[in-house]
Amino acid sequence: MTGVMTVRDIDITAAAGLLGGFGLRLVELPDAADIPGTYWGEPEAGLSGDRLFVRPDTPVHSLLHEAAHFLCMPPERRAGLHRDAGGDAAEEDAVCYLQVLLGAGIRGAGWSRERLFADMDAWGYSFRLGSARRWFEDDADEALAWLQHRGLVQKGAGP
């Protein structure tokens, strides 16, 4: 996929620090290395246990999405995690919402929430309202409530 922001475009040390605060270890692999635990195939991020694997060509939206999967799943699912995060449609929506919130912790030239929305749209995330931004701002109340109910986002938080 061309045109989306990749791991090589961000401060990977800052990203590792952000995720480390949640108990997730970011493992940066060299170019062309196999990515363990990738669900969609390379260069998409991979999850295995408490490790998130990326390469320099991994899209940032993929790093954020898989990190959000880790954060949204209960500990018993994390224990057996390799490749498939599982969960239902409500959890997947919450993952997408949390992915956007986590994006605030990414540092890199040209990085912004708008860039994340554009990259999500370019990759093919599918939302009822036609775009990631419109979904997040106008149609994601249930996803936010899911996150709040589980203590992942404070009550009163929102777009």
Position 159 confidence tier, pLDDT thresholds 50, 70, 90:
low
> How many C-beta atoms surround the C-beta of residue 51 within 10 A?
16
Q: What is the pLDDT of residues 68-94, one digit of tens each?
A: 999 999 999 999 999 999 999 999 999
How far apart CA 72 and CA 33 sit, in angstroms, is 28
pLDDT value of residue 2:
61
Answer yes or no: are the C-beta atoms of 71 and 22 closer than 8 Å.
yes
Answer yes or no: are the C-beta atoms of 116 and 64 closer than 8 Å.
yes
pLDDT (average), residues 126-146: 94
pLDDT for residue 1 is more than 60 = no
> How many C-beta atoms surround the C-beta of residue 98 within 10 A?
23
Q: What is the pLDDT of residues 91-124, one digit of tens each?
A: 999 999 999 999 999 999 889 999 999 999 999 9
Beta-sheet pairing, 46-48 with 25-28: unpaired
In this structure, the dihedral spanned by the alpha carbons of residues 46, 79, 21 and 31, taken in order and rounded to 10 degrees, is -20
Task: Calculate ∠ Cα 98-110-37, nearest 5°.
Answer: 45
Where do the structural domains in the chain lie, given as residue ranges?
Answer: 7-149
CA atoms within 13 A on the CB side of 43: 21
